[in-house]
Homo-oligomer: A and B are copies of this chain.
Amino acid sequence: MNYLSTTEGILFTDQYQLTMAQLYFRLGMHEMPAQFDHFFRNYPDYGSHQAGYCVNAGLDWLIDWMGAARFGEEEIALMRGMTSSTGRRLFEEDFLSWLGSNGDFGGISLQAIPEGRVVHTNAPMTVVRGPLALAQILETPLLNILNYQTLIATKAARVRESAGEALVLEFGVRRAHDRGGNAGTRAALIGGADFSSNAGISHALGYPPKGTHAHSLVQAFLAQGMTELDAFQAYADIYPDECLLLVDTIDTLASGVPNAIRVFERLRRKGYAPVGVRLDSGDLAHLSMRVAQMLDDAGFPEASIVLSNELDELIIREIKLQIAQEAARGGLDADNIIRRLVYGVGTRLITSAGDSSLGGVYKLVGLQGKKGWRPAIKVSEDPGKTGIPGSKKVWRIYDGRGRATADLLTLDDEDPAGDWRLDGQQFPDDRVAELPLRLRHHRERTKSRILPAKSISRIEPLLLDVLVEGRLVCERPTTEQIRAIRRADVASLDEGVRRLINPHFYHVSVSEKLWALQEHLLRSLSKGSVDPAF
């Protein structure tokens, strides 16, 4: 059996997608063009704090997966053997035969907000259009791939926010969820980590993997009757230009740092600049100050202090705050300590500790049947889960300072920028005033606001064409280009939305016409079906 093909290929999906696909086939609905929106309803909420925005990630891996996944002979054979609970064969031969000839994603068109962009609740990040049966089967793997990377890119953007300009290293593969760790490393690099310790995937993405050494190195020397100093010296001999020493195996201040300094002094005599030390236990804020002073006193003001041990965005923030306060009291220069800190962030980044999933969903919003294109809507006992129907456009509105102020969903044929063809270009200043925008809350009738046209500096469409019937129609940006997109997009957010705790709420609104469509469908639904005349 080809293990990877049958477990990570097109059958890496929920069983009900396959049974629904056969039902559509049986009723002749399987090739009806359908549209599904992918979006999330809530930002990650880490318990004591929550995100004010997400960073989109995963699309490039989804494209790869879609290009490779198909119902091949093995998959068909496997499905042929599936039975119902009473032993009846589950999938009939005519359906399997159709899958064998048509069971790939060559008929799927996909629009998406590019990776690295800031994304918000309820706005479609990915729009899938294609034959109903295959668009349905795609639901599970699409969500699997995009939910996790977006979750981790978002967490990494928060770590970047608290780390400021400091180097951030992703160290989490040992606590990642099996091989999901590779996707996590990629997302961390997109969202805010500079480098990762994960050797293979770092190389594949074009980043040199980074690392120091483990406690076991020092332990191995001690078990041989040698010393911590011997271990440090051996490391410096072999990696003279990469000398970063872990100083907490025995006693950070009494043994580790003094030994490191002796080794650094020898390195200096040979013409090398030591990289620094790593602290992995104890009170990292307090130890950073003490160690910085010891390194300064020994004449190594440029030596870095790498911190690790269950760091996340709040712990980094607390460490920096404590140093700022304590240093002032002790007559030390806090900036001189903080500027040399490097953050090794592991478990809490790669698993998004506190909120370990993003609730991205994939909802049918329209279907082209025998009577033409019909929008579809999902209602719910939970009002917040009622969907926004139909084929839509997503726009980002920037205020006079160039800051993103709202995302707006409109019908597909609406253009909130009026008669101008904008395509992401800057508004001509003298005409902005002609275009006031009414933004409605997508569910609450009484909530709306008018955005005076003169307060709008730019209206940008967010969804770009990625696949047209399986064919790639856009450039695939490099990871480095995606990082640049993330940096620019986060910088265009209001400071309040970027806040790590209790962020300001970012508005995602719907247009008047989209609101009207939604209301109409909800009324039709309560009558039992959708009015075809709309």
Residue positions of A touching B, CB distance < 8 A? 1, 3-4, 6-9, 11-20, 22-24, 26-27, 29, 34, 36, 47, 61, 78, 82-86, 88, 90, 132, 136, 139-140, 143-145, 147-149, 171, 173-184, 197-204, 208-217, 219-220, 222-227, 234-235, 237-239, 241-242, 248-252, 275, 281-282, 347, 351-353, 355-359, 363-364, 366-367, 369-371, 374-382, 385, 525, 528-530, 532
Contacts and interface: CB of A to CB of B under 8 A. Distances in A.
A532 B381 CA distance: 71
B23 A238 contact: yes
A68 to B, nearest CB: 11
A347 B357 contact: yes
B376 A176 contact: no
B182 A8 contact: yes
Contact of A217 (B23, B216, B252): B23
A222 B387 CA distance: 14
B378 A249 contact: yes
A180 B172 CA distance: 14
Given A204-B1, A234-B27, A11 B241 contact: no
A200 B12 contact: yes
Given A13-B199, A26-B237, A90-B239, 5 more contacts: A222-B376, A223-B374, A225-B369, A227-B528, A248-B381
A374 B222 CA distance: 9
Ranked 6 nearest A-B pairs via Cβ: A180-B180, A16-B211, A177-B180, A11-B200, A356-B356, A282-B381
Given A34-B220, A224-B367, A529-B227, A238 B22 contact: yes
- Copies of this protein, total: 2
Nearest to A13: B199
Contacts of A174: 14, 139-140, 143-144, 147
Contacts of A364: 215-216, 219-220, 223
A219 B378 contact: yes
A281 B382 contact: yes
Contacts of A249: 378-379
B16 A214 contact: yes
Contacts of A23: 213, 217, 234-235, 238-239
Contacts of A251: 379, 381
Contacts of A248: 380-381
Nearest to A361: B174
Nearest to A243: B84
B197 A14 contact: yes
Nearest to A47: B47
Nearest to A204: B7
A291 B145 CA distance: 36
19 contacts: A3-B204, A12-B181, A15-B198, A16-B197, A20-B213, A34-B220, A84-B242, A90-B242, A144-B176, A177-B178, A177-B181, A177-B184, A215-B363, A216-B364, A219-B376, A222-B530, A224-B374, A281-B380, A353-B355
A20 B197 CA distance: 13
A139 B179 CA distance: 15
Given A143-B175, A528-B227, A208 B83 contact: yes
